[in-house]
Amino acid sequence: MNSFSSAWAELAEVVAETPPEPVIQELGYQSWTTDNLCVESFHEETRYFTSRWDALCPYVDVNPDMLRAARKPFIVYALPPEGPYGVPINDKYGLVDVATPGFWDDPRRERKFRELDKQFRDFTVTEMVIPGREVTAQYIFEIGEVHFAAYDIHDREIEGFVDYVRNLDVVVIKVTAPNGDVVLHDVSMVLPQRNQVYGSFCQWNPAYRNRSPGIYACLLAARWTAKNNYRYYNLGPVGDYGYKSLFVTDFEPIYGLALTDANHPLALDETSPLHTDFKRSEWNQIYRNPLARSTT
């Protein structure tokens, strides 16, 4: 029979060996722990880290605790433009001001929109608004699996999207062909405080490429935005997506920050994101205006 003292010592040993539950941090729409904050990214074969909200979410908040906890090199894109962190990178958000009559009356757009409506005349468009708390990673994966594979979007980034939208509404637009084929799923989040709808991703069926389903998805999302009395539809970063130019009425700077050792292989590779998206002098610059920060 074990003595009380030996049993207590054994229990204490087990407790000591059990790692504590990660502490959940809350910031803006985001929650994170040290275990789920970072996502592995690669430039060629060089590993670096981004946040779990990187691929599918806009306006990512950071704070000193998060930046200290992050694995390095750590790159954050899409910091809030009104915030104190980060520097402008070499890309912009494309905004569609759906509230201005000039957007819908522009002859070039009007002609293209008529063509798209004709192309999809016999197709079925379904719009759903889902409370973010009801959205699951499994559902998002099911409607975006091909897109995520094509763009190397990590499971953790899907989980990051689900985390971000917990207290927001998610808009899912589905287009179905007369034969039952799913032509596209377009997924956006509603950001009431910014009076905008943000386009997170669109997966479309390549069998319908000649009908321009990606452009049609943008049109449907812009119409939903106008119909529901929001001012802007945010197309996301537009630098690599020329087709979005048809819609853009305004540009918004995208801010980012990069934390790295100057001798890390990523820093030494001039084709890496550290060089293509940032100036060398901006590496490890946390605050947008360091001088102003140091005098407050």
Residue 86: how many CB atoms within 10 A of its CB? 26
Mean pLDDT of 34-60: 97
Confidence class for position 43, pLDDT limits 50, 70, 90: very high
- Higher pLDDT residue, 4 or 252? 252
Both 56 and 203 in a single domain? no
pLDDT at 12: 52
Q: pTM to 2 decimals?
A: 0.89
Q: Return the top range by mean pLDDT from 2-6, 223-227, 243-247.
A: 223-227
Mean pLDDT of 55-76: 97
pLDDT in tens, 155-195: 999 999 999 999 999 999 999 999 999 999 999 999 999 99
CA-CA distance, 231 to 198, in Å (whole number)?
A: 11
Both 100 and 45 in a single domain? no
The reply to whether omega before 192 is within 30° of 0 (cis) is no
Both 150 and 212 in a single domain? yes
Both 115 and 232 in a single domain? yes
Distance (Å) of CA 69 to CA 30, 35, 80, 90: 15, 10, 20, 26
Confidence class for position 242, pLDDT limits 50, 70, 90: confident
Both 128 and 172 in a single domain? yes
Mean pLDDT of 8-12: 50
Q: Among the listed ranges 15-19, 84-88, 202-206, 274-278, which one has the minimum average pLDDT value?
A: 15-19
Considering its fold, how many domains does the chain have in total? Answer: 2
Both 30 and 148 in a single domain? no
Both 230 and 168 in a single domain? yes
Both 273 and 285 in a single domain? yes
Helix (H) or strand (E) run with residue 187 in it: strand 182-191
Both 48 and 176 in a single domain? no
Confidence class for position 7, pLDDT limits 50, 70, 90: very low
CA-CA distance, 240 to 144, in Å (whole number)?
A: 20
The overall average pLDDT reported for the chain is 92
> What CATH number corresponds to the domain at position 226?
3.40.630.30
Domain that includes residue 16, residue range: 4-89+255-294
CA-CA distance, 26 to 14, in Å (whole number)?
A: 30
pLDDT at 239: 76
Residue 97's nearest CA partner among 252, 216, 254, 250 is 250
pLDDT at 190: 99
Mean pLDDT of 75-99: 96
pLDDT in tens, 100-124: 989 999 999 999 999 999 999 999 9
pLDDT at 198: 99
Both 224 and 98 in a single domain? yes
Mean pLDDT of 4-20: 53
Mean pLDDT of 208-221: 97
Both 266 and 130 in a single domain? no
CB contact at 8 A, 104 and 227: no
Give the residues across from 253 on adjacent strands. 92
pLDDT at 289: 84
2 has a pLDDT exceeding 80:
no
